[in-house]
Structure 1
Amino acid sequence: MLDAQSTSSSAIQLDNIHLRLSSDAGEVNILRGINVDIKRGETIGLVGPSGSGKTSMLMVVAGLERPTEGTVRVAGNDITHFNEDKLALFRREHTGIVFQNFHLVPTMTALENVALPLEFAGRTHAFEAAREQLAAVGLDHRLEHYPGQLSGGEQQRVALARAFVTEPTILLADEPTGNLDGKTGETVMELLFDLHHRKGTTLLLITHAPELAKRCSRTLTMADGHIVADETVS
């Protein structure tokens, strides 16, 4: 079990996390007693074979999947039993999430997509901040384009800008370069690590790319719903 006294220096704590889901074949054990403590400002590469539980663990950290058993602490808050409204507010204040498949709103322009979380938060100057963030990812010439008018790499950069615009303390990314060519993928990763260096953001990155995992300060390896290795990268 994790020591509660470590909370102040921790960005993410998972204490005995189990996740069991129902299927036609019966109950499936997805996560099987995950214990991990990620300190503020760490960069974590989460690796392992497909089906090992990596995305499920990230979804639990994000509050998008509720564990069957155990305690989830993020940014010093026990979010295990937060209701959906409270979780949404918490994510908006603390967490940025980048998915492999972008999840942009197709009927909104790039600018509108990036401004959206700031508008939900009632922030002033949402569109000004969105413009600045899109410029930071090299898309100031694509502000009024819709997702369907953008390449895959451009859509992923819009998704990054949307995740960055709230200046999250924690950034969760699920294979953020998985659908991109090598050059574009490298650009996206530079943007992720630049945010970490500028803001001290804690990064939790799911990846199958060994070169990306090596850029992180620590690597967690999952297999069959367990963390089977926890290594500091030299």
Structure 2
Amino acid sequence: MVDIDDVHLRLDSAAGPVNILRGMNLSVDRGERVGVVGPSGSGKSTMMMVMAGLERPSSGRIRVAGHDLGGLNEDGLARFRRDHVGIVFQAFHLVPTMTALENVAIPLEFAGAPDAFDRARAGLEAVGLKHRLTHYPGQLSGGEQQRVAIARAFVAEPSLLLADEPTGNLDLETGAHIVELLFGLAERRGTTLVLITHDPALAERCDRTVKLMDGRIADDGRHAARNVRVEA
């Protein structure tokens, strides 16, 4: 599903170039659930952005769902995300002026689905929000907003789901419910899941745990990474 080959990402700053990703190599199989851990600043969220085609690397190759992302222009990347990728962020990222139903229908409307609202309604029912269809984000609790975000991510039946600290803004009990929902939907639909988390216990629920350090894979969960070097 995902093949990251020697990917580097360098950004310019007033203090000089900053190396965010430094020779990253990672493969994720179809249907696999991968937990991603590492200290703040290790490149976890940037890696997810690169997988989604939301950030272009400085060098290296990325293939996702059979697509070489380096060969796609911005319109091509948008279509790739529409057709293959679902994303759940820590901060929900719902449109405040749209109802829960309208928020979930967004990716389907972009895809031109004639049954967008019927499918969005079914998606909200699947996450237990049948009674919140016409509510706006400001009328929902944090946990309910995250359930709307999960429904939106799953509604187009993506082959890859990327989740970046999906329980980070929730209390422990609500976060636990969100985790069960996320894993349950992924398992039932056979979706490949890449989950970024600071919680080792949550990462251990995945098929394997990938550890990042200083913009590289320190351990890919299969064997010690071969791309970690001590630099002078």
TM-score surpassing 0.5? yes
Q: Find the aligned partners of 2:221 and 2:112 in 1 and give their Cα distance.
A: 41
3-state SS, counterpart of residue 161 of structure 1: helix
3-state SS, counterpart of residue 17 of structure 2: strand
1:34 — aligned with what? 24
Q: Find the aligned partners of 2:78 and 2:184 in 1 and give their Cα distance.
A: 26
Corresponding position: 1:147 with 2:137:
yes
1:107 — aligned with what? 97
Give the CA deviation at 1:111. Answer: 0.3
* 1:188-234 deviation line (CA, Å, top 9, x unaligned): 111111122111110000000111101000110001101101225xx
2:14 — aligned with what? 24
3-state SS, counterpart of residue 134 of structure 2: coil
Q: Which has the larger strand fraction?
A: 1
Q: Find the aligned partners of 1:168 and 1:44 in 2 and give their Cα distance.
A: 16
Corresponding position: 1:225 with 2:194:
no
Corresponding position: 1:82 with 2:77:
no
Q: Residue 67 of structure 1 is aligned with which of 11, 33, 57? A: 57
1:205 — aligned with what? 195
Q: Find the aligned partners of 2:71 and 2:55 in 1 and give their Cα distance.
A: 11
| Percent identical | 67
Q: TM-score, normalised by structure 1?
A: 0.93
Q: Which runs of 5+ in 2 are unaligned?
A: 223-232
List 4+ stretches of structure 1 deviating above 6 A. Answer: none
Read off the aligned partner of 1:82 and give its amino acid letter. Answer: L
Give the CA deviation at 1:178. Answer: 0.5
Equivalenced residue count is 223
* 1:90-147 deviation line (CA, Å, top 9, x unaligned): 1110000000001111110000000111011000111111111101111111111111
3-state SS, counterpart of residue 215 of structure 1: coil
Q: TM-score, normalised by structure 2?
A: 0.94
Q: Find the aligned partners of 2:130 and 2:201 in 1 and give their Cα distance.
A: 29
Q: Residue 3 of structure 2 is aligned with which of 10, 13, 31? A: 13
